[in-house]
Amino acid sequence: MRIITGKYKGKRFDVPRSFKARPTTDFAKENLFNVLRAYIDFEDTHALDLFAGTGSITLELLSRGCPEVVCVERDRQHFAFICQTLRSLGDPAARPVCGDALRYIQRAVRSFDLVFADPPYALPELPELPERILQSQLLVPGGMLVMEHGKTNDFSRHPLFIEHREYGSVNFSLFRQKSQEA
């Protein structure tokens, strides 16, 4: 796993083979972040990485200058790996949380400019996950949700959906929270 660009560009981390998590491919990650540049200024973006897995997205967000990146991972082995990589960077913007992402959504106590969610593709709650996040307090008005998912999921009918991107077997659906309360 490597960091594509930014202040940590080129740094590599060896993900243990025993991991169940699949890191987002470099190709998909690079293209997604190129798309996101049109929507957000990373240096002003407080981000949340749900289902952090290997921490790949967290590392990319930190490298691009986000002032705060909270990452939530339930698996203790994965969480320990994320903490180890974050310690090696020494970036004060990183905020790792060992916990269940679904509970974190349900108990949202603060809001972010960007929420990235990469749940296991077999997660039973995956089809309803965008709605859960968008109805929670996790996003500021006008904030972005990026959902990584398999090819069988189609969120294009959701009223807050803005676009879909496909890179090989990796799919991303982007949503924008309402700008103001209706």
Q: Is residue 166 part of a domain?
A: yes
Q: Are 174 and 144 in contact (CB under 8 A)?
A: yes
Q: Is residue 11 part of a domain?
A: no
Q: Is residue 93 part of a domain?
A: yes
Task: Count the Cβ atoms, other than its own, within 10 Å of residue 152.
Answer: 9
Query: With bands split at pLDDT 50, 70 and 90, how would you rate the model's confidence at 3?
Result: very high
Question: CATH no. for residue 169?
Answer: 3.40.50.150
Q: What is the extent of the structural domain holding 104?
A: 28-176
Q: What is the pLDDT averaged over residues 151-166?
A: 96
Question: For 31-68, what is each residue's pLDDT tens digit?
Answer: 999 999 999 999 999 999 999 999 999 999 999 999 99
Q: What is the pLDDT averaged over residues 92-112?
A: 96
Structural domains in the chain (count): 1
Q: Is residue 71 part of a domain?
A: yes
Q: Is residue 5 part of a domain?
A: no
Q: What is the pLDDT of residue 181?
A: 55
Q: Is residue 133 part of a domain?
A: yes
Q: Is residue 23 part of a domain?
A: no
Q: Is residue 47 part of a domain?
A: yes
Tokens for 24, please give them.
């987002």
Q: How far is CA 121 from CA 66, 111, 173, in A?
A: 27, 25, 14
Q: How far is CA 14 from the centre of its chain?
A: 20
Q: What is the pLDDT averaged over residues 14-38?
A: 87
Measured between alpha carbons, how far is 21 from 118 in angstroms, rounded to an integer?
Answer: 10
Residue 26 has pLDDT above 80, yes or no: yes
Please give the model's pTM, rounded to 2 decimal places.
0.94
61: which DSSP letter? H
Mean pLDDT of the chain: 94
Residue 78 has pLDDT above 80, yes or no: yes
Measured between alpha carbons, how far is 140 from 42 in angstroms, rounded to an integer?
Answer: 15
